[in-house]
Amino acid sequence: MDSNEARSIADAELERGLGSFAAADSIDELEAAKTAILGRKSRLSDVQRSIGSVSREERGELGKRVNEVFADLRSAYDARRTELELATGAEILDADAVDVTLPGRRPRPGSLHPLTLVEQRMVQIFTRMGYRVAEGPEVEDEWHNFEALNIPADHPARTLKDSLYVDVDALLLRTETSAVQIRTMQSQEPPVYIVAPGRVYRREAHDATHSSVFHQLEGLAVDEGITFADLKGTLHAFAKEMFGSDVRVRMKPDYFPFVEPGCDLAVSCFVCGGTGCSVCGNGWLELLGAGMVHPKVLENGGYDSERYTGFAFGIGIERVAMLLYGVNDLRLFTEGDVRFLQQFEGAV
């Protein structure tokens, strides 16, 4: 390639490059034009590589011209890229623009969790009866959680298969809120009328009817002259206040180590009215366990079992919520699905 041909190609590439850069409508098009005009395989690069083959007299003048062409093209490329970047930024800003004249959008108000709603309602029913709320630790020792409640050392509930122990000897996550009974009796003289809502922990499968973490409301009444009739009247009043005056209540014998005698309480099915259906099976829905406080439990709490009697009951809050709201899967309460939780906004 002689000097004249090289100069002609350089001038032509300058004109072509300026036109390509000016015509590019996006950064991608501009980069493609740069590669075609200034890339290693471009005609202008071929001219630059041919400078060494022309005569010494023409080499300096040709090299100067080629450098001028490269400089002009790079300057034109930089200027066009700046223009395109500014235009792209303006488009992004326009797309993100907010019309401040539009009326504001109120955020949707939150609501209490259905388990919180049920717990509050249960507590309100009992506090209107004269009970007060008591609390206890969720990490409990074996004496308060088992021994003081007349649960012997060989009871299956005390094994690692059923209980969740922590890395400290004789400590575990409480398996029921009944431990609050003992702590309350140790802290005050009779009479005692308390309810103790709270979380409890058991080594359970996580399915539609079981969970390793759930909620209970424990009740305890201790005084002189308390009988099973007082327990029956209290639970009847609670059931009718919680589920409606039309609900029917059934009590039948059951065994729990910390009460004697013991019973469980069921309410008539809300779906079939007590005639029997696929939900209840026999017309009844089991609600809670209860009974007269065992004399040994009273003595472990520091009370004279010859003078005082009492009753206790334990209610699963999830159980009541499932019955009250017609929920058939326990996991819905813990999965945090907004579609499920939104249904309880009106219950606040």
- Domains, the chain, ranges and CATH? 3-95 (no CATH), 114-347 (3.30.930.10)
**Residue 258 CB neighbours (<10 A):** 22
Residue 319 near residue 293, CB atoms below 8 Å: no
10 Å CB burial of residue 333 (0-12, 13-18, 19+) is buried
User: Which strands form 192-201's sheet, in the order they lie side by side?
Assistant: 132-133, 192-201, 213-223, 309-316, 284-293, 259-268, 249-254
Note the pTM of the prediction, 2 decimals: 0.68
**DSSP symbol at 294:** P
User: Could you give the C-alpha distances from 18 to 6, 21, 70, in angstroms and in order?
Assistant: 18, 5, 11
Q: What is the distance, to the nearest Å, from the Cα of residue 172 to the centroid of all Cα atoms in its chain?
A: 24
Supply the angle between the helices 3-23 and 56-95 in degrees, to the nearest 10.
10
* 3-class secondary-structure state, position 109: coil
Tens digit of pLDDT per residue, the chain (348 long)? 677 777 788 888 888 888 888 888 888 888 898 888 888 888 878 878 787 777 777 778 778 888 888 888 889 889 988 988 888 877 777 777 777 888 888 877 778 899 999 999 999 999 999 999 999 999 999 999 999 999 988 888 788 778 899 988 889 999 999 999 999 999 999 999 999 999 999 988 888 878 899 999 999 999 999 999 999 999 999 999 999 888 899 999 999 999 999 999 999 887 777 777 766 778 888 899 999 999 999 999 999 999 999 999 999 999 899 888 888 888 999 988 888 888 886 554
